[in-house]
Structure 1
Amino acid sequence: MRWITRGLVAVGLTLALTAPAATEAGAATQLIQNGTFSTSTTSWWSTGNTPISVDAGRLKAVVPGGTANKWDAMLGQKMPAFPIHQNHRYTLSFDASASATREVRTTVQQNTAPYPATLDKVFTVDTTIRRYAFAFTGSLETVNAELTFQLGGVAGFSLWLDNISLVDNYGNVAGSPVQLTNGFYVDPNSNPKLWVDDPQNQNHPDRQAISASIATKPMGRWFGNWSGEIADAVHRFVGPADAADKLPVLVAYNIPGRDACGGHSGGGAGTEAAYKAWIETFAAAIGGRPAIVILEPDSLGDFQCMTQAEQEERTRMLSFALQQFKTLAPNTWTYLDAGNAGWADASEMARRLNGVGVGVAHGFSVNVSNYYTTTQSVAYANAVNTHLGAAKPFVIDTSRNGNGPGADWCNPPGRKLGTTAQQGGGAEMLLWVKVPGDSDGPCGIGPEIPAGQFSPALATSLINGG
Structure 2
Amino acid sequence: MRSLTRMAAITASAVTALSAAAAGPAVAVPRTSVDSAGAAPQLVVNGTFAAGTAPWWKSANTAMAVEAGRLRVNVTGGTANPWDAMIGQNGIALAKGKSYTLSFDASASAAVSAVTTVQLADSPYTRTLTKTISLTTASKRFSFPFTSSLGTSAGQVSFQLGKNAGFTFHVDNVSLTETTIPSPTPTATTTPKPGSGPLAMTSGFYIDPDSNPAIWVRNNSGDARAARIKASISSKPMARWFGGWSGDVRAAVSTYVAAADSADKLPVLVAYNIPGRDACGGHSGGGAGSESAYKTWISAFASGIGNRPAVVIIEPDSLGDFGCMDDTAIQARNRMLTYATQQFRDKAPNAWAYLDAGNAGWVAAGTMASRLKNAGVGNIRGFAVNVSNYYPTVQSATYASSVSSSLGGGAKWVIDTSRNGNGSNGEWCNPAGRKLGAPTQVDGGGGTEMLLWVKVPGDSDGNCGIAPNTPAGQFSPAIAIRLIDGS
TM-score (norm 2): 0.61
CA contact (8 A) 1:351 1:388 kept: yes
CA contact (8 A) 1:295 1:334 kept: yes
**SS class of match (1:436):** coil
1:380 & 1:452 partners in 2: Cα distance?
Answer: 27
Query: Which runs of 5 or more residues in structure 1 are unaligned?
Result: 1-54, 61-96, 104-123, 130-161, 163-173
Which string of whole-angstrom CA distances, capped at 9 and with x for unpartnered residues, describes residues 200-221 of structure 1? x222111111000000000000
Residue aligning to 2:474: 453
Which string of whole-angstrom CA distances, capped at 9 and with x for unpartnered residues, describes residues 284-306 of structure 1? 01101100000000000001111
Residue aligning to 2:252: 233
**2:455 is equivalent to residue 429 of structure 1:** no
**2:166 is equivalent to residue 181 of structure 1:** no
Residue aligning to 2:485: 464
**SS class of match (1:429):** strand
Match of 2:463 among 432, 442, 445: 442
CA contact (8 A) 2:96 2:149 kept: no
CA contact (8 A) 1:101 1:126 kept: no
Which string of whole-angstrom CA distances, capped at 9 and with x for unpartnered residues, describes residues 183-235 of structure 1? 1000000000000011xx22211111100000000000000011111112112
1:303 & 1:179 partners in 2: Cα distance?
Answer: 36
Deviation at 1:282, TM superposition (A): 0.4
1:386 & 1:425 partners in 2: Cα distance?
Answer: 18
Aligned length: 313
1:212 & 1:266 partners in 2: Cα distance?
Answer: 32
1:101 & 1:289 partners in 2: Cα distance?
Answer: 31
Residue aligning to 1:414: 433
2:376 & 2:481 partners in 1: Cα distance?
Answer: 40
CA contact (8 A) 1:223 1:251 kept: yes
1:233 & 1:56 partners in 2: Cα distance?
Answer: 18
Query: Which runs of 5 or more residues in structure 2 are unaligned?
Result: 1-92, 99-118, 130-145, 152-179, 181-194
**2:388 is equivalent to residue 362 of structure 1:** no
Paired amino acid for 1:435: V
**2:347 is equivalent to residue 321 of structure 1:** no
Deviation at 1:390, TM superposition (A): 4.1
Which string of whole-angstrom CA distances, capped at 9 and with x for unpartnered residues, describes residues 357-379 of structure 1? 21111010000000000001000
Paired amino acid for 1:181: T
Match of 1:100 among 107, 126, 130: 126
Which string of whole-angstrom CA distances, capped at 9 and with x for unpartnered residues, describes residues 436-459 of structure 1? 000000100001000000000000
2:481 & 2:277 partners in 1: Cα distance?
Answer: 29
CA contact (8 A) 1:223 1:253 kept: yes
CA contact (8 A) 2:416 2:453 kept: yes
Root-mean-square deviation over aligned CA pairs? 2.6
**2:221 is equivalent to residue 202 of structure 1:** yes
TM-score (norm 1): 0.64
1:218-367 equivalence runs, <5 A? 218-367=237-386
Taking a change above 3 Å as real, the CA distance of residues 128 and 212 of structure 1, as seen in their structure-2 partners, is farther
**SS class of match (1:425):** strand
CA contact (8 A) 2:97 2:149 kept: no
Paired amino acid for 2:210: N
Paired amino acid for 1:217: K
Deviation at 1:57, TM superposition (A): 8.4
Deviation at 1:101, TM superposition (A): 3.4
Residue aligning to 1:108: none
2:460 & 2:208 partners in 1: Cα distance?
Answer: 18
1:298 & 1:57 partners in 2: Cα distance?
Answer: 41
1:356 & 1:445 partners in 2: Cα distance?
Answer: 35
1:325 & 1:459 partners in 2: Cα distance?
Answer: 33
Paired amino acid for 2:253: V
2:301 & 2:376 partners in 1: Cα distance?
Answer: 20
Taking a change above 3 Å as real, the CA distance of residues 289 and 342 of structure 1, as seen in their structure-2 partners, is same
1:350 & 1:59 partners in 2: Cα distance?
Answer: 45
1:259 & 1:384 partners in 2: Cα distance?
Answer: 22
Paired amino acid for 2:127: T
Paired amino acid for 1:280: S
Residue aligning to 2:35: none
**SS class of match (1:209):** helix
Taking a change above 3 Å as real, the CA distance of residues 464 and 233 of structure 1, as seen in their structure-2 partners, is same
Residue aligning to 1:375: 394
CA contact (8 A) 1:187 1:221 kept: yes
Which string of whole-angstrom CA distances, capped at 9 and with x for unpartnered residues, describes residues 379-403 of structure 1? 0000111111342110000000000
Percent identical residues = 59
Which string of whole-angstrom CA distances, capped at 9 and with x for unpartnered residues, describes residues 139-158 of structure 1? xxxxxxxxxxxxxxxxxxxx
Taking a change above 3 Å as real, the CA distance of residues 446 and 279 of structure 1, as seen in their structure-2 partners, is same
